[in-house]
Amino acid sequence: MAGFNVRSVLVTGASRGIGLGLAKQFLGKSNPPKWVFATCRDPEGAQAQELKTLASRHPNLMIVALEVTDPASIKAAAARVEEHLKGSGLNLLINNAGILRLNTLESETPEDMSLVYATNVTGPLLVSQAFLPLLKKAAQGSPQPGLSCSKAAIVNMSSEGGSITNPFAWQLGQVISYRCSKAALNMLTKCQSLGYGGDGILSIAVHPGWVQTDMGSSASHQVPLTVDMSVRGILNVLPTLSEKDNGAFVDWEGKVLPW
């Protein structure tokens, strides 16, 4: 991770899985961020216990309550982070929070389609809108030319399951609402790259691989990647990204994926 100097990073959905893994590895770097903001729905709940233990050992980790489907919660979280940053910007926003429902074409429901879309697409849109002023501030205050994750960036955690060209693991699970949501998230990423690139903000969609998490293991199949392997790969890829990658869809090893 040479040259990856992120002063502040915010990760949504950080109480478990990839989000928790990202927080851990950022904190474990030789040059950790001054601030790691780890968000979860209920900081006082049982699921946040490991995150709270981590925060007790790392004074630069701040746990922030954030429900990505609740605009009021998002607004409150952005205000709290802004107050904590004391005039500096946010370098890196990782929209990681997401959900999956094990539905087929025959069993998919309007309720699940709406809920998954609200969490996996509308959530990242609203969170990015709320933190945009802080991302712009980071970009404006950076001496770095061009675009990079050290300067200011939005990383949307997507999935190759949303690739229209190569719908990953279709034979193992249709998960219709999830696939549709990730295809939409990829388009959101492209739109953000077009809308925010001029402000010095890089936007990227990342497929973390098929990872051994509560979500990734829910289909009862052998899952190839550990959280540690996936996150290590992602944190090796992020420093390599620049304006040529703005709006791209890449995997945890840096390979460009088809839309």
Q: What percent of the chain has pLDDT over 90?
A: 89
The pLDDT of residue 3: 58
Residue 213 reports pLDDT greater than 70? no
Q: Decide if 137 is catalytic.
A: no
The pLDDT of residue 176: 97
Residue linked to tokens 């200011």: 152
The average pLDDT across 136-159 equals 97
The pLDDT of residue 2: 45
Residue 217 reports pLDDT greater than 60? no
The residues, ordered by sequence, that sit 6+ positions from 226 with a Cβ below 8 Å of its Cβ are 211, 212
State the DSSP H helix or E strand holding residue 64, giving kind and residue range, or none if neither. strand 61-65
The average pLDDT across 150-174 equals 94
- Phi, psi dihedral angles at 117 (to 5 degrees): -65, -40
Q: Cα(176)–Cα(215) distance, rounded to whole angstroms?
A: 15
DSSP-assigned letter for residue 40: E
Q: Which of 142-151, 158-167, 183-192, 223-232 has the lowest mean pLDDT?
A: 223-232
Q: Decide if 34 is catalytic.
A: no
User: Average model confidence (pLDDT) for the chain?
Assistant: 94
Residue 1 reports pLDDT greater than 50? no
The average pLDDT across 181-202 equals 98
The residues, ordered by sequence, that sit 6+ positions from 255 with a Cβ below 8 Å of its Cβ are none
Q: Cα(132)–Cα(6) distance, rounded to whole angstroms?
A: 17
SS3 label, residue 93: strand
The pLDDT of residue 214: 62
Residue 192 reports pLDDT greater than 70? yes
b/e for 44-76, b at 16 or more Cβ within 10 A? eeeebeebbebbeebeebbbbbbbbbbeebbeb
CATH placement of domain 8-251: 3.40.50.720
The pLDDT of residue 169: 86
Concatenated DSSP letters of 149-214:
TTT-EEEEE--GGG-SSS-TTGGG---HHHHHHHHHHHHHHHHHHHHHGGGT-EEEEEE--SBSST
Q: Which of 34, 178, 244, 255 is catalytic?
A: 178
pTM of the model: 0.95
Q: Which residue has the higher pLDDT, 9 or 220?
A: 9
The average pLDDT across 71-83 equals 98
Q: Which of 117, 151, 182, 196 is catalytic?
A: 182
SS3 label, residue 37: strand
Residue 4: pLDDT band (50, 70, 90) is confident
Q: What is the pLDDT of residues 93-109, one digit of tens each?
A: 999 999 999 999 999 99
Domain boundaries defined on the chain: 8-251
Q: What is the pLDDT of residues 6-63, one digit of tens each?
A: 999 999 999 999 999 999 999 999 999 999 999 999 999 999 999 999 999 999 999 9
For residue 233, the one-letter residue type is G
The pLDDT of residue 224: 75
Contact 22, 96 (CB under 8 A): yes
